[in-house]
Amino acid sequence: MKYNVHEDIIQAWTLPGDYYSDEQTYQQGKESYFAKSWQFIGDIGLAKVPGQVFPFEFMPGLIEEPMVLTRDTNDKLHLISNVCTHRGMVVCEGAGNERFLRCRDHGRRFGLYGKFQHMPEFENVCDFPSDSDHLKGFPLEKWGPLLFTSLGSTLPFSEVFAPMLERLNWLPLSEFRHDPVNSRDYLVRSHWALYVDNYLEGFHIPFIHASLNEVLSYDDYHTELFEHGNLQLAESKGDEGVFDIPTSSPDYGKKISAYYYWFFPNMMFNFYPWGLSINVVKPLGIGLTKVSFIRYVWDESKISVGAGAELDRVEREDEQVVELVHKGLKSRVYTQGRFSPRREIGTHQFHRLLANRL
């Protein structure tokens, strides 16, 4: 199915309701949106010491490509395929510490950097081993302690995320610590793109988020677009719960409560004075989405004030709205809507990217 969203927001119509219910479009989006995207893995704590291994899938429930993060004996991180080059068996079946990777199906062995080492009963095989017998490597990018990968993005990590990397280069990411106790997953019964639609506009804040609206200055809330995503800059009504911004920043002198960064298609980086909440939107089906809130704390003393003080409440409020929109879009009489030129420029950008990538 072909979709089109006008480039001029004052002339544009939203994606039609059937976009969110068409199974073929959803399946096509796996390759068009996600297969070449950069995705968050976790942090360097997953493989902290030499010999440590951590197996995972690229996007569980959507693109279940088996990968394994390793740290070799030279203390170097690698990200390699977790599929044996003999018969396709998963090589590493659990996190732990290893001297090498060995497939327990037929004993093929690999170094922690992915290179083939040994295979029993293969003495007389011609042209063996070859390059195809090594485990394939995947790109691995690091920002502070945070790790990212792609199945083969056509764009470098530094280019995609440049607006965020450059603007927030004053934040001491090396001091951010993972907070697993307050990190959590939410199941949202809606199409994944509806969750992103909702995130990308502050239009609903006065109507849905009473506690957040008391903190933020709605008149100053605005969105800045860049090629692969956007930033919603949230300024505070008061002086509490705001960043201590250095003079080198373009935001110096502003009372910033939060930097809400979104990168196509499904990653949000929400920076607060206490640290960072990475929100990853993970499609599990056309009407089911898992949203992971992964928290990294920098200054615990600031957790209870400002825009980042009640993340769970705000999420539950958003979740209810998104699920009701998913239900409403099934209406036989609804077709599509229009955009607010001031408040929905991020959502308009997202709809254009969705349509164009198909």
* Ordered DSSP codes for 91-140: S--S-EE-SSEE-TTT--EE-TTS-EEE-TT-TT-TT-S-GGGSPPB--E
Q: Which residue type sits at 154?
A: T
Q: Are residues 33 and 51 in the same domain?
A: no
Q: Is residue 11 part of a domain?
A: no
- Does one domain contain both 272 and 329? yes
The helix/strand count (H/E) of the chain reads as: 8, 18
148 lies in the same domain as 196: no
User: Residue 164: CB partners within 8 Å, gap ≥ 6?
Assistant: 231, 261, 263, 269
Query: 33 and 145 share a domain?
Result: no
Domain with 309 in it: what CATH number?
3.90.380.10
Q: Is the peptide bond before 50 cis (omega within 30 degrees of 0)?
A: no
Residue 303: partners with Cβ closer than 8 Å, 6 or more residues away: 274, 297, 309
168 lies in a domain?
Answer: no
What per-residue confidence (pLDDT) applies to 69?
A: 98
DSSP-assigned letter for residue 329: T
Contact predicate 218/242, CB 8 Å: no
Map residue 46 onto helix, strand or coil: helix
Asked if residue 170 belongs to a domain, the reply is: no
Q: How many domains does the chain have?
A: 2
Q: How far apart are CA 221 and CA 223, in angstroms?
A: 7
Helix, coil or strand: residue 144: coil
Count of other CB atoms within 10 angstroms of residue 286: 18
152, 185, 220 - which closes a domain: 152
Instruction: Identify the pLDDT of residue 2.
Output: 86
Predicted local confidence at residue 152, as pLDDT: 82
Residue 239 lies in a domain: yes
In this structure, are 340 and 208 located in the same domain? Answer: yes
Tell me if 166 is assigned to some domain.
Answer: no
Task: Please state the φ and ψ torsions of residue 147, each to the nearest 5 degrees.
Answer: -120, 145
Q: Are residues 31 and 68 in the same domain?
A: no
Contact status, residue 105 vs residue 87, Cβ threshold 8 Å? yes
**Same-domain pairing of 98 and 208:** no
Q: Which residues pair with 216 in a beta bridge?
A: 236
Q: Name which of 349, 133, 111, 332 is nearest 229 in CA terms.
A: 349
Task: Give the sign of the dihedral formed by CA 153, CA 158, CA 161, CA 163.
Answer: negative
Q: Examine the fold and report which residue of 152, 187, 203 is the final residue of a domain before the chain moves on.
A: 152
Residues 338-356 pLDDT 10s: 999 999 999 999 999 999 9
DSSP 16: P
Tell me which residues of the chain have a pLDDT lower than 50.
none
Determine, yes or no, domain membership for 10: no
Same domain, yes or no, for 213 and 273? Answer: yes
The reply to whether 81 falls in a domain is yes
Q: What is the DSSP letter of 85?
A: T
CATH label of the domain that carries residue 67: 2.102.10.10
139 and 197 housed in the same domain: no
CB 292 within 8 A of CB 279: yes
- Same domain membership, residue 109 and residue 92: yes
Distance of alpha carbon 172 from alpha carbon 144, whole angstroms: 8
Q: Tell the residue number behind the tokens 């930097």, with chain if given.
A: 259
Domain of 85 in residue numbering reads as 42-152
Q: How many CA atoms lie within 13 A of 92 on its CB side?
A: 29
Assigned domain for 161 exists: no
Same domain for 189 and 80: no
Q: What pTM, to 2 d.p., does this model score? A: 0.95
Residues 93 and 236 in one domain: no
Closest by alpha carbon to 278, among 264, 291, 265, 290? 291
